[in-house]
Structures are given as structure tokens and as C-alpha cells.
Structure 1
Amino acid sequence: MQNNLTAVTEFFLLGFQGSQHPRIVLFCLFIMIYCGTICGNLLIIILVSISKNLHTPMYFFISQLSISDILLTTDIVPNLLHLLLINGGTISFTGCIFQFYIFCVCEASECLLLAVMSYDRYVAICNPLRYASIMTPACCVKLVALCWLVGFTITLSDNISISMLQFCGPNIIDHFFCDLVPLLAISCSDTFIVQLEMYLLSFPVAIIPSIIIITSYVNIVSAILRIPSSTGRHKAFSTCSSHLTVVSIFYWTIFCVYIFPTKGETMTISKVLSLIYTVCTPFINPIIYSLRNKDIRKAVRETIRKHICYNFP
């Protein structure tokens, strides 16, 4: 009996089933998005590392967000491209659990990093005189280390629980990566404990960070409205608008899929929502932070100018 229960050693990911032409179009689209994601986020990491003007807490946190985005998109997109080429494909049980673990680490770390970034903006706007003494380099490093440490450790228990589930029935996953809900749907074990762990883990990695973000922005908006000049209000809000845009897109999709799923939500809708936070969000993050940010645009121009002057004295 035990052998029958553990017979499933690999899963078949359906991905986006369809005729060849639409799949080729999606393949071309996603490979362009993937290349743009890697290049855009690497650019931010390099600029923050080499440009002295970007050696501030805000840009340090943005660079960490870029690292998370690169890890997330690399965990998901290459296999998605493979699935599109062959109209679905197999993944080993170990590979499936590992992919889900990296996905969980990146999502948890990003939730926490966005909360830390909102706190950074809160201190900068609501307590500017003490900003330098509060957001010291040592404090920033500790906050980032805590985000990654929590991301790697707190999601481990849920992944261990999933790896101990029995899969004795169909091994077909109607998704483009090994996600929680599709895995639980095909398990023949009692998944109550895993689901309970998921909801308990949602508090430290999603609910509490979202409360921190909401509280920070309530105070930020209150402080901005008290600024007498319209120019001052606009300047203060512009420093938060990029972060607020990223937070809105990211948390909306996460909450829709995992925390408060819509009743009767089809697998197609779930896949589209998953695409937003696994493929689209890592792509648009560097665009939002670079195109709307004069400091990063200035750093790009200075880097290009230095490179040209170095090669053509």
C-alpha cells in the first residue's frame, strides 16, 4: 500500500495549453520580458553599487528588491518557456518542491522588503531630522538580513509539510509552476495541516507587513497634507509614488490568490494573476523605479559618460 501511495515521482505541468501559434507568440513575449527583467534589475544593482549618489537606504532597499525579482523570475520563467515550446512538460518531485521553496522565499522576502521600504519613507517624511540617525547603514543591513533570514526560514516548514504529502492519484498540475493550491488539489493526503500552516504563515509574511505599509502611508499622507506649499507636497509625494505603485500591484495579486481567493475563481484567472506577480511585477519594478526616478537616470548618464571618457580619452 505504501508503494502505491508514493508512486508519483514527477508531475506534469500543463502550462498554457493551446495550438502552436499562440504558444510561440507567448514564448516570444515572455522571453523578451525575462531578458528585460534581468537587464533592468541588474542595472539597478550595479548602479546602486558603483554610484555614490545612490548610497542611501532607499536605493539599498531597491537593490535588494531587484535581487529578489531576479531570483523569482529565474525560478519561474525558464521552465515556463520550456513548457510553452513543448506544450507542457514534466518536473521531478524534488524539482517541484525546490521551485516552490525558492518561489516562497522570494515572495516572503519581497513582502518584508516592501514593508521596510515603507518604514524608510515614513521616517524620511515624518521624522526627517532624525532620519540619518535612525536609518544608519548598520540598521539597513540588519533589516535586509532579517527580511532574507525570515524568507528562507519561515517558509521552510510549509515546504517540508508539502514534501511529506502523499501523491497517489493523477500527477497533472494545471499551472505553469509548482504552486501551493494545485499541489494540494492533487494530493491524496489530508491537507488541513498544510493549509493551516499557510494561513498562519500569512500573518508574519503578508498581513503584518501590509499593516506596517498601511500605517506608514496613513502617517505619510497626513504629514504631506500638512506641508503648506504645493511644491513641497508634490516633492514629498513623488518620493513615495513609485513604491506605492509597486506595493499596490504586488499585494493586490498576492491577496487575491492566497489570502482572500475569489469564490469560483477559475484556474485560468489564477494563472493570469500568478503571471502578474511572478513575471510582470519583476519586469515593471525597475521601469517604475528608473523612469520615475531622476537620481537613477542621472546615475545612468554619469556611468555612460565615465565609460565613454575612459574608452575614448
Structure 2
Amino acid sequence: MLIEAIPWFIPHRNSPTELSMKLVRTDKRSGEQCEMTLKSEDLYVLKSHIAQALSVSEQDEDGQYLVLRTDTLGTQPDASDDAIGAIGSALESRHFAARLVHQVNPETLAKAFSAAVRIGELRAAVTELEEHLAEGRHREDVFQDWCERHAWAFGNAYVTRDDQRVIGIGDHVDILMKSAASGLRDVYELKRPDKDVILYDDTHQNWYWSAHTAKAIGQCHRYLDTLHRAAEFGLQPARPDIIAYHPRAVVIIGRSHDWEEAKLRALHGLNSRMHGITVMTYDQLVSQCHALLSHVTAAEAGAEGAVSELTA
């Protein structure tokens, strides 16, 4: 019997190239063939299982082995593998194992590891966003993908992101967020980070919205009107759970890392004159992420301390 693995690379315009693989089994006697196609996500699952099986097969003697799920430990597969290696090495230490048995409550240890992993995930997410901006990636779909994966960046005022984007005929919002306090929905609209946010009029000596920002604000006005009408009693008929009553909108556009204090104050002033819509920059989003990360890190400091004491 002969088994061939034939890789297929599928290019996408707005996302990375996808890998799939066709497995062809050929009976040498009859020539009969049987085919199976594995998608990209199937290949990652198969890779994980093969790695686990190889780790066990390479051991010199029989024994009992602990299998840890790695796909939730980090945002990158390599980071997950490194985390598992670090945990495994720690568990092999006689000193560490003895302290686990005699000094640490299992629930406390679980919380400590969970806190450390969660903080690591948040830090990796913020680093990814900063790299997108630093490397000049300006396509909206790049930031759309990041925000969909890290809706926590919009703050503790929200509990989750909806997968629903269509709110009416011809109206597709970028992100719908559910309020933690009321359960009502708000809109987030993402624009390119390389566009002007506000401009200065030398003649009248005042700041004003750029054309790109003004268009986004007008777009949000239409979205808010549509969403209020369509979802006041639930977005019917498909999503009655999505309720929006006098929703608000946030436009994220442009950069502000090199702004002077006067320009930042001008943005705040222009925002304060609007009702129901706020404009913020991607650098302000990064700053908001750092503030949230600091809050989580401080809250979980006790749990991280438990891990630090064990390794001392």
C-alpha cells in the first residue's frame, strides 16, 4: 500500500495563503485509490496529535503521561509549545514537585497558571496591534480581524462581540458590541490608520474633521438610525437577542502618536460637541489596551505571586 501526501496552497487576496493537503492511498496490487482532503484547521489538529504521540513514543520505558491542551495557552502555536515545555520542565523538578504536594492548594495553582496565561495572551495581542501600526499595515481588514479576535480592547463596558454584522438592507457594520450594563448594542466602525483625523484651518484658526472622518461620522449616523429602528425589540427575525435602543457609535481612524497636546485637546473638544458618536485614533486604542492590561495585571498579581514563590 502506498500513501502520498499532496499539499495545496490556496492564495487569498485579503488573508494569508491557506494550506490544505490531499492524502491519496493506492493499493499496489489492484491499483485502487482512495482520497481524503484535510483543511488547514484539520492539519493543525493532526500536527498536535502527532507531536503528542511522538513525545510518548520517544520515551525509553512505559509510564503514565500528562497531556495538556495547548491551543488556548497563547495566540501563536510556537508560544503554546514553549509554554508547555516550560511547564513540563518545572514539573520534572523534584524541588518544585515537592512544594506543589505539600504547600500549594490545587485550586490556587490552577488560578495562578490561568492568570499568567491570560496576561500573556493580552500582552501578545497588544504587541501584535502595535506591530501592525509600526510596520505600516493600513488595510481595514487587518484591524477588523484583530478587533474581532480581541474585543476586550474596547473596555470593561462590554461583555462580548456579536457575530452579526448586517443590520439592514445595504448596511453592514464592522463590529456590534454588547453592553455589560444594559445588554444593548453599540457600533464600532473601523477606518484606515493612515487617514487624517482632524485638520487645522489657518484662516479661521480652528480644528475641523477631515473628509475621511466626516464621511465615517455620516455613515455612523445612518447605521445608528437603522439599528435603532430595526433592533429596538430585537433584530428580527434572525437575531431577536440583539437589542439596540438609542445605540452609540465609535469611529477608530488615523494615528495620534506624534500629536501635540493642542491637537489632542482639539479632538476631545470636537468629540464633546457630538451626541452618540465618538472618534478615537488607533494609538488611543493601544493606550486603552495598555490601561486594561495594567488593571488585569494588578488584579492578578496575587495569583502570579503564587507561581513566583513556587519557583523561588
Q: Common fold, TM-score beyond 0.5? A: no
Structure in which a larger fraction of residues adopt strand: 2
TM-score scaled by structure 2? 0.27
| Alignment TM-score, normalising by the size of structure 1 | 0.27
- Flag the structure with larger Rg: 2
The structure in which a higher percent of residues are helix is 1
